Amino acid sequence: MNGSETDPGIIHRAVKDIFAKIQMISDREFLIRVSYMEIYNEEINDLFAVENQKLQIHESLERGIFVAGLREEIVSNAEQVLKLIDSGEVNRHFGETNMNVRSSRSHTIFRMVIESKAKDTDSFSDHLSTDAIRVAVLNLVDLAGSERIAKTGAGGVRLKEGKHINKSLMVLGNVINKLSDGAKQRGHIPYRDSKLTRILQPALGGNAKTSIICTLAPEEVHIEETKGTLQFASRAKRITNCVQVNEILTDAALLKRQKLEIEELRKKLQGSHAEVLEQVILKLRNDLLKYELEREKLHMELEEERKSHRERDQCIQEQQMKIVDLSNPLNSSDFDPNSGQGQDSERQSLKEECNDSNIICHGDAFRTPCFKAAPKAFVVKRSDYPMLPDYSPLPDTFSNVADEDTWLKMNKGYIADLDSLQLTPARKVQSFPSSDATPTYSSKNHKQEVQHLKRQLLIATEERNELERKHAEEILLNHQLMDEISKIQQEAKLIQEIPKRLGESVECCKDIYEDVLSIIQVKSTLNICIIKLYMMFAFQRTFTFILS
């Protein structure tokens, strides 16, 4: 921190920079006070005054946290500060350990308090301060390094000193950990666990800019200490402080500021400010009209979207009706779109013939002996090979396929003497044209119709899903538009209230102006009375002196 004459340390460089900056500022007056303290075995000692030992920490509303009884020296140049630092270093505690020949056994805090105010050219500047006083505090802290007993070989007094050093450093690390957490997670911050953290409380977590310099040893044997130091620095980087200018306002400075504000308000109320208010009101009215037009536009878009929603709903209902019709193709009157009404009449006649045959069978007019139900394998075999007559078990009494189909439909799946019926896959029966005009119905056409209807059903289902998806999107868009309209309405209401609030602000400013004028008049009257009393008192003393 102190360095040497050829290589000055941080304290020397900081002091010289501060006074160089002060020389560059000519419009302000400065007052600089310095103090130097050490924390040895958790006791605060004054390095400028040896008799000031074991000082206590106090806190007040005016001064904040301070060390009672600590000596402060008023300085005017850098050389004076450096001489005081050298005199304080003589009173500091040092010791010898296995690690260092001259090891610091305490923490030191060098503090500079810088006060400044604007230069006043008024004739009464010697008696009355008319500007706020700015206060800044610079803390330069030299921390003793953490120690391990196994490495330092400390014992007795040195061991006690090392314990106190490590304790204060541990508390400082805990404070840094708490401050690096979020505001909601940090909880209680243990500033009072150590005198070092208690003194530095305004600098660590208050209205201050803090810089921390961490030093490391390059030897591999100190790798654990190096790791801990880097972790401490990483946590310290996450601390955020809100820095503001510290000002002390006297009554006179506050009165001066109020006068300046009154003058500004008076200028604003006269002439040009009224024009500015009119321009602001005109702009707000234009914004209000713009919002109303935007709202009407959104309302029209919303009506169009609702109309499109209704059309889509109607289309979805029509598609659903089509899907219901397509799901029952066999019950529909238009079963095959490619076939005409002739085929419908043929199919109807075929049903009537089947019904007549059933009636005859029930009346015992036509009965096949030894009726047996056809096995399921037989029916499946017929359905697996509908277009191959050589794989069909046809009776020999029938000469064409059409008669066979008619016979099967009439007998409802029953055949005569199933035991004697044989499957003849190698036999191929050729169908001859019949003299009857019996209509033939192809199973292949039936399958094609079913496949065609299935495709139509699938397409209709996809269209329905697409329409439902679009319907959901339109509903979501409708909700979003309604939210936007409500927000615009709220903004329009706020804009309508702005001229009223501006009028109230102007009235309030006028009231404040009148109050301040009355206060100024009262104070001026009091000052005149005081001056008169002072003159009367002086005249009386002069008259008494003359008489004596």
Could you tell me if residue 34 is inside a domain? Answer: yes
Bridge-partner residues for 58, per DSSP? 66
Report yes or no on 258 lying in a domain: no
Helix (H) / strand (E) element for 95: namely strand 94-95
* Any domain includes 58: yes
Tokens of 17: 């920079």
Strand partners, 39: 44, 107
Domain of 159? 10-248
In a domain, 54, yes or no: yes
* In-domain check, residue 177: yes
Instruction: Report the CATH number that the domain containing residue 220 is assigned in CATH.
Output: 3.40.850.10
Place of tokens 């310099």: 213
Is there a domain that residue 234 lies in?
Answer: yes
Question: Which residues are CB-contacts of 477 (< 8 A; sequence separation ≥ 6)?
Answer: 305
Structure tokens at 315: 């289309």
Please tell me the distance from the alpha carbon of residue 369 to that of residue 41, in angstroms, as a whole number: 125
Whether residue 104 contacts residue 141, with contact meaning beta carbons closer than 8 Å, is answered with: no
Answer whether residue 210 is part of any domain.
Answer: yes
Per residue of the chain (548 residues), what is the pLDDT tens digit? Answer: 777 778 888 989 999 999 999 999 988 899 999 999 999 988 999 999 988 888 999 998 878 889 999 999 999 999 999 999 999 988 888 877 666 667 788 899 999 999 988 886 554 444 444 567 888 899 999 988 776 766 666 667 778 888 888 888 889 888 888 888 766 666 788 889 999 999 998 888 777 888 888 888 888 888 888 888 898 888 888 887 776 777 666 666 667 777 777 777 777 666 655 676 777 778 888 888 888 888 888 888 888 888 888 888 888 888 878 777 776 654 444 444 444 444 444 445 444 544 454 444 444 444 444 444 444 444 444 444 444 444 444 444 444 444 555 555 555 454 444 444 444 444 444 444 444 444 444 567 777 878 888 888 888 888 888 888 888 888 888 888 888 888 887 887 778 777 777 777 777 777 777 777 778 777 777 777 777 776 676 666 665 555 54
Q: For the chain, how many structural domains are there in total? A: 1
Beta strands 64-68 and 371-373 are unpaired
Helices 78-90 + 10-24 axis angle, to 10: 160
What would the two tokens of residue 526 be?
């009091």
Enclosing H/E stretch for 378: helix 376-384
Regarding pTM above 0.75, the answer is: no
